[in-house]
A = this chain, B = another copy of it.
Amino acid sequence: MVRTKEDAQKCCNSSEKLSLPDVVWAEDMAKLTWALAHPARVRIVRLLLNRTSCMCGEIVEEMPLAQSTVSQHLKILKETGLVQGEVDGPRVCYCINKEAMAKLKKLIADL
């Protein structure tokens, strides 16, 4: 346990100027991480990564959620760019956006 002011100094001995990271960068990061900040969305992403692409209906089948709820999660994933949907007649074929995924991975890896 730190006890004195000197110890505190030692504890926080970084003398570098306290420069906050770019606000835009933080919002970017937050947006992408937020896309994965729900178990259902994590599972959807994992599912798509395993299958290269997937019909919306197939996703619904594998989730203990209503179709409308899954659709909402997919909408969020699309908005963050992590997932793309391609219309296929009455169906929609979802797949991972690899660039967005790479961006997320890089952002986290570079933390």
Q: Residue on B with the closest CB to A86?
A: B2
Chain A binding surface, main DSSP class: helix
CB–CB A2/B46 < 8 A: no
Is A66's CB within 8 Å of the partner chain B?
no
- B contact residues around A39 at 8 Å (CB): 23, 26-27, 29-30
For residue A108, which residues in chain B have a CB less than 8 angstroms away from its CB? 104-105, 108-109
Give residues 42-68 of A contacting B (CB, 8 Å).
42-43, 45-47, 49-55, 58, 61-62
- Asked if A42 contacts B55 (CB within 8 A), the reply is no
Asked whether, in the complex, the Cβ of B51 is within 8 Å of the Cβ of A8, the reply is no
Cβ–Cβ contact B101 & A46, under 8 A: no
